[in-house]
């Protein structure tokens, strides 16, 4: 496989982590605006919001984790979590599916959206 897919939970976790770093960075930049109270407090507020946002994302990951199904990856033999009908292995990015009808078919993120449409 030339194209590597990343696991959804891992993706969201990376996003949450980067939010923390952005928040810290923005707050750090704020220190350079010592001359302007407005700019400095603005940077502090934005930085704080990013960190609060990441807390919510981490909370969301916790919620999503309850919906994941733990399986042993057939490719690397390591336990991984699947979210939705198709997801990639957390360790080797091997595309995995829970739906027998999709087995052997090409990995497509759209399968998840189709599943959501049926429910809603």
By CB under 5 A, name the binding residues for Zn ion. 73, 75-76, 89, 91-92, 94
**CB of 54 or CB of 93, closer to Zn ion:** 93
* Ramachandran class of 65: left when φ > 0, alpha when ψ lies in -120 to 50, beta otherwise: alpha
- Lookup: tokens for 27: 């707050």
Cβ of residue 8: shortest distance to Zn ion, in angstroms?
14
Element (DSSP H or E) covering residue 112: helix 110-119
Cβ of residue 106: shortest distance to Zn ion, in angstroms?
18
Cβ of residue 45: shortest distance to Zn ion, in angstroms?
42
């Amino acid at each position: 496989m030339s194209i590597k897919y990343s696991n959804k939970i891992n993706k969201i976790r990376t996003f949450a982590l980067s939010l923390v770093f952005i928040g810290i960075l923005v707050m750090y930049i704020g220190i350079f605006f010592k001359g302007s109270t407005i700019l400095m407090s603005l940077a502090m507020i934005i930085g704080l919001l990013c960190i609060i946002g990441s807390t919510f994302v981490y909370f969301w990951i916790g919620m999503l984790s309850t919906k994941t199904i733990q399986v042993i990856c057939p490719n690397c033999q390591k336990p991984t979590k699947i979210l939705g009908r198709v997801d990639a292995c957390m360790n080797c990015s091997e595309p995995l599916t829970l739906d027998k009808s999709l087995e052997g078919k090409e990995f497509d993120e759209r399968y998840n959206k189709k599943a959501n449409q049926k429910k809603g």
